[in-house]
């Protein structure tokens, strides 16, 4: 929070909430303390306060995200212009591919999944709305990076360590730069089992005034996403993000 004084207790509360969300199941106090590396007494007090406001619920000594967060989530969806504009176009893309379609929001530093249309096939993606995604190893993330200025890309690479997610993850900065150049030429990005083994994706950036504010991607198991199908989906994603970007050029986000 550059230039703004941080409120430590709020930061700790956010850490606790993030920990509960990431664990995906009710968790005990000791487990939360271990994941957050916060003092046990501080975590206990934070949980009690959050529970009073229904942001956390407790049952049999286990803690979980509470129902009050739904009020915030609902308000976010209502107020999010990107989601409102993109949703019908996502449905069009879903009808075309019949695979999982993601909408990603980019805040200038980080990217988050804000909508997901699941495939009707039995094998589905593990991605979750609200989760942060890695820019350098995902199709949506690389699409966003490709739309940034060289100065912005350099700043990103200077602060982010390229960590291997799978054997296919691009670990060399020069290779990543070459990949971003290829994305600009082709109009869409590919993730060929780079972020998660067995999963392939294509994605393209959503632009407003020439700046990336998000991306749309299609994800599928590698055995279903052949090279031909990825090319078809990539071209369709290009078409879809062009429609969304055009609509956003007339609408403030």
pLDDT tens by residue, 104-158: 999 988 999 999 999 998 866 777 888 889 999 999 999 999 999 999 999 999 9
The pLDDT-based confidence of 3 (bands split at 50, 70, 90) is very low
**Tens digits of per-residue pLDDT, 61-80?**
899 988 888 777 766 665 58
**pLDDT digit string, tens, across residues 207-242:** 998 899 999 999 999 999 999 999 999 999 999 999
158, two tokens: 């200077």
Q: Which tokens sit at 30?
A: 């000791």
Model pTM? 0.77
Strand-pairing partners, residue 56, are 65
Handedness of CA 79, 81, 85, 90 (dihedral sign): negative
Residues 6+ apart with CB under 8 A from 57: 51, 63, 64, 65, 66, 67
Residues 53 and 16: their CA atoms lie apart, in Å, by 15
Distance (Å) of CA 126 to CA 18, 72, 80, 137: 17, 23, 23, 16
**What is the pairing mode between strands 132-133 and 189-192?**
unpaired
Does the pLDDT of residue 85 top 50, yes or no? yes
* Nearby residues of 185 by Cβ (< 8 Å), 6 or more positions away: none
State yes or no: pLDDT of 5 exceeds 70: no
On average, the pLDDT of the chain sits at 90
Query: Is residue 209 a contact partner of residue 249, using CB atoms and an 8 Å limit?
Result: yes
Lowest mean pLDDT among 52-56, 192-196, 199-203, 231-235: 52-56
């Amino acid at each position: 929070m550059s230039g703004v004084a941080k409120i430590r207790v709020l930061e700790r509360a956010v850490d606790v909430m993030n920990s509960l969300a990431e664990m995906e199941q009710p968790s005990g106090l000791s487990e939360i303390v271990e994941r957050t590396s916060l003092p046990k007494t501080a975590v206990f007090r934070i949980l009690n306060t959050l529970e009073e406001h229904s942001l956390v619920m407790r049952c049999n000594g286990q803690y979980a995200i509470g129902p009050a967060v739904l009020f915030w989530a609902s308000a976010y969806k209502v107020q999010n212009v990107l989601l409102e504009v993109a949703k019908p176009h996502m449905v069009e893309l879903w009808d075309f591919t019949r695979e999982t379609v993601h909408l990603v929001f980019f805040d200038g530093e980080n990217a988050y999944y804000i909508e997901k249309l699941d495939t009707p096939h039995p094998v589905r993606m593990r991605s979750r709305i609200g989760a942060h995604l890695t820019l350098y190893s995902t199709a949506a993330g690389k699409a966003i990076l490709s739309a940034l200025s060289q100065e912005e890309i350099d700043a990103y690479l200077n602060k982010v360590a390229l960590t291997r997610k799978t054997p296919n993850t691009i670990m060399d900065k020069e290779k990543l730069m070459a990949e971003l150049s290829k994305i600009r030429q082709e109009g869409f990005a590919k993730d060929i089992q780079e972020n998660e083994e067995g999963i392939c994706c294509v994605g393209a950036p959503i632009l407003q005034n020439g700046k990336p504010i998000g991306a749309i991607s299609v994800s599928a198991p590698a055995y279903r996403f052949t090279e031909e199908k990825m090319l078809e989906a990539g071209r369709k994603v290009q078409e879809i993000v062009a429609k969304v970007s055009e609509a956003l050029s007339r609408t403030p986000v």
